[in-house]
Chains A and B, each alone.
Chain A
């Protein structure tokens, strides 16, 4: 493809919008893997679950997917808390999280995907909303609302989580649980309860991220697999558990993927995330803003 300035600018803008969405997809993993040290590889499967919930309610009742996702937050939070309880009793308490905990989440990923295939088949599903078609134009730069709205929602969610984690007692306790559980106990907070809350929040973000995903693109059950490499690449590149780092890394990956797709073809885009992941692990495992 021929190189031109407006193509480049458009690709970068598209990449930044995509990056905002990636931040929403990754923030849950940043909390679970980065802060709590729970390697929840089933995270993308829960995002797809969120997409399908948005799809079902949108196609039957015609409610806006973003409203659905906000209504669904408590449900996903509860799901997350239940999963954490099972994980804690079965693996964390016995000190077996390394091998069997990973296999447990892999099994969850697999069960969710196959269940969705059995119920909905492998057809692509999509939602209807006013902002999916049109796009905003400033000069020669296009802002498709389909990308812009998810990006804004994602940034708002990100801001809310950052404020929660840095300003509230529970949020600070979540940060502390990874560093010093004994100190946390001395502050009269139960580490298990704090972790359960944090994991619940991590899964709750899937409700919103899932709705955003199905606004951006049609979804089928195995789409989640493409996001596994992406979310962990962003999480590691950003520095585990650092939310600002996650945001920067997400934007970076979005732009690089968008440029790759524009100038080399979209079929190469999935390889970008892995390349970045491997380079980061080899060169700077602590990530951009690592502790």
Chain B
């Protein structure tokens, strides 16, 4: 893969650098809502990367991501409640005063606690079920969520089914607003998760995981300690999910079992890596950022139930027609279209296709929201164009001969759509968004009609590989 030679310390540094840039950009814009939305997206990145360590690298499906996430969140709630009730547990004395001095614990410490608890739960579940066929582990994790939820509902100390209020401080020293602080913590956690995932991928551990995924019996026979490796994977994956959950009560302010154990976390943790691609750390990152932002937009413009429906449908569509995920599609495309070095022609098609997928997905959301409310006709038109765009982008990446024609058609249709949108609501945001969409559409049509692209798609696929 491109850029796979970068060493680990350098990679970590680069990640921290990217994180800093993201943080400074946030500082520059300084809208609190962006921190709220950004926190949610980053939380999904951590969950997706964590899920992928077990699901993508080892091939074991975990349906209980919500349970691990909630364990982290509830360990924070328990410690918070404990801090409030120290004088009930201990009489006046040395222990009480020491505890009074330590509590309330800072969030990074809570994250470590949440990670340990969820890691242990992962280890326990794995130990009981991983000796059997993979399906049993998947089923056990599914049931685990129900049981842990039952336990929490019956545990009055953390609020039971009524839920628990966590009153968070208004501000924090040095950084300022509390939500900014939470965002920064989640950003740091994201960097940690990505570095852990990449380090595993490139270590002996990662190769061990890959042998389990490809053929467990053969791995076992050649002396790979499969059970131990699988237990390591469940523990690390569970711990990261718990760490993602630990700051959650402070973010949300009020935690109840139904929201902490919500199916949304489970389905997103699976859908994001599956859509992004499961073989390396970039896949879950891409999938989580794309789907996370899409859901933020969808829950503002439509409703949260519809955005979950979109995720479910995307998951099913992707596992059927693009099992390798977006990153896998891009890799396959580059292998076939530009095996030696990245040609401008391949890069152009790649950019157009990526744009088609991203714009198409957001277009579906905008189209749906318009079709259901303000402008049914325009919304329906936008919906159709967006679906065509996604199909065209998929075809372009798969080197299908029909793809350039479909891409041309959908980009041509996009031009009047953009003009109608700006004409209907001539706001600055619309002008920038649809104006650039029209400009890109014109460029895309020109590229699709160029001789280089035509020749790329005129050869049958088998010949394509042979000539290149």
Q: Please list the residues of chain A having a beta carbon within 8 angstroms of any beta carbon in chain B.
A: 33, 39, 41, 86, 90-91, 94, 96, 98-100, 102-104, 106-108, 110-111, 113-115, 117-118, 222, 225-226, 228-229, 232-233, 236, 267-268, 270-271, 273-275, 277-278, 281-282, 285
Least CB distance, B157 to chain A, in whole angstroms: 16
Asked if B146 and A226 make an inter-chain contact with CB atoms under 8 angstroms apart, the answer reads yes
**CA distance in complex: A228, B312 (Å):** 18
Pick from B129, B136, B267, B306: contact of A110, CB under 8 Å: B267
B55 at interface by CB-CB < 8 Å? yes
Q: A99-B59, A114-B312, A229-B146 are in contact. Are A41 and B139 (CB under 8 A)?
A: yes
Q: A228-B142, A229-B147, A270-B147 are in contact. Are A102 and B135 (CB under 8 A)?
A: yes
> Which applies to chain B's interface (DSSP): helix, strand, loop or mixed?
helix
**Chain A positions within 8 Å of B61 at CB level:** 98-99, 102-103, 106
B25 at interface by CB-CB < 8 Å? no
Asked if B146 and A225 make an inter-chain contact with CB atoms under 8 angstroms apart, the answer reads yes
- Choose, from B180-188, B314-322, B330-338, B412-420, the stretch at the interface: B314-322
**Chain A positions within 8 Å of B135 at CB level:** 33, 39, 98, 102
Pick from A33, A90, A106: contact of B320, CB under 8 Å: A90
Asked if A281 and B274 make an inter-chain contact with CB atoms under 8 angstroms apart, the answer reads no
Asked if B138 and A118 make an inter-chain contact with CB atoms under 8 angstroms apart, the answer reads no
**Chain B positions within 8 Å of A39 at CB level:** 135, 138-139
Q: A106-B63, A106-B267, A107-B316 are in contact. Are A274 and B144 (CB under 8 A)?
A: yes
Q: A267-B153, A267-B154 are in contact. Are A98 and B134 (CB under 8 A)?
A: yes
The contact sample of 27 A-B pairs, CB cut-off 8 A, is A98-B59, A100-B274, A100-B319, A103-B270, A103-B271, A104-B319, A107-B271, A107-B316, A110-B267, A110-B315, A111-B312, A111-B316, A114-B308, A114-B309, A115-B309, A118-B305, A118-B306, A225-B146, A229-B142, A229-B147, A267-B161, A268-B154, A270-B146, A270-B147, A277-B139, A278-B128, A281-B136
Those of B36-85 within 8 Å (CB) of chain A? 55, 59, 61, 63
Least CB distance, B256 to chain A, in whole angstroms: 15
Asked if A110 and B263 make an inter-chain contact with CB atoms under 8 angstroms apart, the answer reads yes
Asked if B136 and A41 make an inter-chain contact with CB atoms under 8 angstroms apart, the answer reads no
**Chain A positions within 8 Å of B306 at CB level:** 118
**CA distance in complex: A245, B42 (Å):** 47
Kindly report which residue of chain B lies nearest to residue A41, judged by CB atoms.
B142
Least CB distance, B132 to chain A, in whole angstroms: 5
Least CB distance, B76 to chain A, in whole angstroms: 23
**Chain A positions within 8 Å of B151 at CB level:** 271
Asked if B146 and A228 make an inter-chain contact with CB atoms under 8 angstroms apart, the answer reads yes
B453 at interface by CB-CB < 8 Å? no
4 residue pairs, one from A and one from B, having the closest CB atoms: A229-B143, A107-B316, A274-B147, A110-B312
**Chain A positions within 8 Å of B153 at CB level:** 267
Asked if A104 and B63 make an inter-chain contact with CB atoms under 8 angstroms apart, the answer reads no
**CA distance in complex: A108, B308 (Å):** 12
B323 at interface by CB-CB < 8 Å? yes
B140 at interface by CB-CB < 8 Å? yes
**CA distance in complex: A267, B161 (Å):** 10
B313 at interface by CB-CB < 8 Å? yes
**Chain B positions within 8 Å of A96 at CB level:** 323
**Chain B positions within 8 Å of A110 at CB level:** 263, 267, 308, 311-312, 315
